[in-house]
Structure 1
Amino acid sequence: MAAPSKKKSSAEEEPTFDERLARLEKLVAELEGGELTLEDSLARYGEGVKILRAAREQLEGYRRKVEELSADSADGDV
């Protein structure tokens, strides 16, 4: 009998903003180190672009949430 698979929830799969930022900082350090091949540099750069886009989307979501909360408090809902 096979062992049950452990599926992570979507919240567990998506990195936090801080995790994304830490990964970006590591990628920048690797790229600035000058020891990567051109191919590895391009791969790291591509990964960084994807992470940056995701982090910007996260920040935009946080901004919208703050606006919603601010609007609620301005309306006297708090």
Structure 2
Amino acid sequence: MAKAKKQSFEESLAELEAIVERMESGELSLEASLEAFENGMKLSREAQSALSAAELKVQKLTEQQGELHLDDMDTDA
């Protein structure tokens, strides 16, 4: 089975906001709410991972001694 394409940070955040709105509406059944919560937690972890990777890149850039050099970091490892 092929891996699904990973969403961008912005796409994950938009989907997470939509999930929160649906859950706050009170219209979801218990089962649908649990499924939405599970999906929301997955999106939250992915977004946090993307933010952490961006923070590492910024930190690495600012720690260089006057040189702007950015090495690619593989966050999927």
User: What TM-score comes out, normalization by structure 2 length?
Assistant: 0.80
Report Cα offsets for 1:31-63 as digits up to 9, x if no partner.
001111100000000000010011101100000
User: What TM-score comes out, normalization by structure 1 length?
Assistant: 0.79
Q: For residue 15 of structure 2, what is the aligned residue in structure 1?
A: 23
**What number of residue pairs does the alignment pair up?**
67
Return structure 1 stretches of 4+ with deviation > 4 angstroms.
Answer: none
* Structure 1 unaligned blocks of 5 or more: 1-6
* Structure 2 unaligned blocks of 5 or more: 69-77
Q: For residue 67 of structure 2, what is the aligned residue in structure 1?
A: 77
CA distance in 1, matches of 2:30, 2:66: 57
Q: For residue 58 of structure 1, what is the aligned residue in structure 2?
A: 50
**Percent of pairs with identical residues:** 36
Larger Rg: 1
